[in-house]
Protein backbone atom coordinates (compact mmCIF):
# COMPACT_ATOMS: atom_id res chain seq x y z
CA UNK A 1 0.00 0.00 0.00
CA UNK A 2 1.23 3.48 -0.85
CA UNK A 3 1.37 5.75 2.18
CA UNK A 4 0.74 8.75 -0.05
CA UNK A 5 -1.68 9.19 -2.96
CA UNK A 6 -2.30 11.88 -5.56
CA UNK A 7 -5.58 12.71 -3.80
CA UNK A 8 -3.76 13.32 -0.50
CA UNK A 9 -1.14 15.44 -2.28
CA UNK A 10 -3.87 17.64 -3.73
CA UNK A 11 -5.67 18.05 -0.39
CA UNK A 12 -2.83 18.54 2.08
CA UNK A 13 -1.87 22.17 2.71
CA UNK A 14 1.73 23.34 2.36
CA UNK A 15 3.94 23.52 5.43
CA UNK A 16 3.45 26.66 7.54
CA UNK A 17 0.25 27.61 5.68
CA UNK A 18 -1.91 27.04 8.77
CA UNK A 19 0.29 28.58 11.47
CA UNK A 20 -2.28 31.23 12.36
CA UNK A 21 -5.19 28.79 12.61
CA UNK A 22 -6.54 27.40 15.85
CA UNK A 23 -6.27 23.60 16.34
CA UNK A 24 -10.04 23.25 15.97
CA UNK A 25 -9.76 24.76 12.47
CA UNK A 26 -6.91 22.53 11.26
CA UNK A 27 -7.99 19.34 9.48
CA UNK A 28 -6.17 16.02 9.70
CA UNK A 29 -5.56 15.03 6.09
CA UNK A 30 -3.96 11.62 6.55
CA UNK A 31 -3.42 9.19 9.42
CA UNK A 32 -0.56 6.68 9.57
CA UNK A 33 -0.27 3.98 12.21
CA UNK A 34 1.74 0.98 13.33
CA UNK A 35 -0.49 -2.12 13.49
CA UNK A 36 1.75 -3.65 16.16
CA UNK A 37 1.98 -0.72 18.62
CA UNK A 38 0.30 2.49 19.77
CA UNK A 39 2.23 4.89 17.50
CA UNK A 40 0.09 7.06 15.21
CA UNK A 41 0.95 10.03 12.99
CA UNK A 42 -1.74 12.57 12.05
CA UNK A 43 -0.59 14.80 9.16
CA UNK A 44 -1.99 18.30 8.69
CA UNK A 45 0.55 19.80 6.26
CA UNK A 46 3.32 18.64 3.92
CA UNK A 47 5.91 19.70 1.38
CA UNK A 48 8.17 17.68 -0.87
CA UNK A 49 11.88 17.76 -1.59
CA UNK A 50 12.95 17.32 -5.20
CA UNK A 51 16.22 15.69 -6.25
CA UNK A 52 18.03 19.03 -5.87
CA UNK A 53 16.81 19.35 -2.28
CA UNK A 54 14.48 22.21 -3.19
CA UNK A 55 11.10 22.43 -1.44
CA UNK A 56 8.13 21.88 -3.74
CA UNK A 57 4.38 21.93 -3.25
CA UNK A 58 2.81 18.49 -3.43
CA UNK A 59 -0.32 19.84 -5.14
CA UNK A 60 1.65 21.01 -8.18
CA UNK A 61 3.48 17.76 -8.87
CA UNK A 62 2.51 15.33 -11.60
CA UNK A 63 4.17 12.43 -9.73
CA UNK A 64 5.10 12.62 -6.04
CA UNK A 65 6.98 9.31 -6.30
CA UNK A 66 9.82 11.13 -8.07
CA UNK A 67 10.50 13.22 -4.96
CA UNK A 68 13.50 12.62 -2.76
CA UNK A 69 11.25 12.82 0.32
CA UNK A 70 8.10 14.36 1.79
CA UNK A 71 8.12 16.22 5.11
CA UNK A 72 4.88 16.25 7.07
CA UNK A 73 3.81 18.31 10.04
CA UNK A 74 1.20 17.09 12.45
CA UNK A 75 0.49 15.35 15.71
CA UNK A 76 2.53 12.30 16.64
CA UNK A 77 0.87 10.08 19.22
CA UNK A 78 3.63 7.87 20.57
CA UNK A 79 5.37 7.46 23.90
CA UNK A 80 5.35 11.25 24.35
CA UNK A 81 2.60 12.80 22.16
CA UNK A 82 3.69 16.02 20.45
CA UNK A 83 3.34 18.26 17.45
CA UNK A 84 6.22 17.85 15.06
CA UNK A 85 7.70 16.91 11.71
CA UNK A 86 8.07 13.44 10.24
CA UNK A 87 9.23 12.17 6.87
CA UNK A 88 7.63 9.80 4.40
CA UNK A 89 10.89 7.91 3.81
CA UNK A 90 11.22 7.30 7.56
CA UNK A 91 7.70 5.91 7.75
CA UNK A 92 8.35 3.71 4.71
CA UNK A 93 11.59 2.37 6.19
CA UNK A 94 10.08 0.98 9.40
CA UNK A 95 9.84 -2.79 9.59
CA UNK A 96 7.83 -4.24 12.42
CA UNK A 97 7.48 -7.79 13.68
CA UNK A 98 6.61 -10.44 11.08
CA UNK A 99 7.32 -7.95 8.28
CA UNK A 100 4.55 -5.54 9.26
CA UNK A 101 4.87 -1.99 7.95
CA UNK A 102 3.41 1.37 8.86
CA UNK A 103 0.01 1.73 7.21
CA UNK A 104 -2.28 4.52 6.10
CA UNK A 105 -5.76 4.46 7.61
CA UNK A 106 -7.95 4.06 4.53
CA UNK A 107 -11.14 4.84 6.44
CA UNK A 108 -9.98 8.00 8.20
CA UNK A 109 -11.85 10.95 6.72
CA UNK A 110 -10.95 14.62 6.46
CA UNK A 111 -13.57 15.68 9.01
CA UNK A 112 -11.29 15.20 12.03
CA UNK A 113 -9.46 18.20 13.48
CA UNK A 114 -6.11 18.60 15.17
CA UNK A 115 -7.84 19.61 18.42
CA UNK A 116 -10.02 16.50 18.32
CA UNK A 117 -7.11 14.06 18.05
CA UNK A 118 -4.97 15.92 20.56
CA UNK A 119 -7.80 15.93 23.10
CA UNK A 120 -8.50 12.24 22.52
CA UNK A 121 -4.86 11.19 22.99
CA UNK A 122 -4.31 13.35 26.06
CA UNK A 123 -7.15 11.72 28.05
Positions in the chain whose pLDDT score sits under 50: none
Determine which helix (DSSP H) or strand (DSSP E) holds 69, and give its type and residue range.
Answer: strand 69-77
pTM: 0.92
Q: What pLDDT digit, counting tens, does each position of 85-102 carry?
A: 999 999 999 999 999 999
Separation between Cα atoms, residue 30 and residue 27, nearest integer Å: 9
Amino acid sequence: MDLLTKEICQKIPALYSQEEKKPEDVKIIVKFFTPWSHWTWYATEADGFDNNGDIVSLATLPNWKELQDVRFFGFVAGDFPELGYFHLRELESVNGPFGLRIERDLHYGYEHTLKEVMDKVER
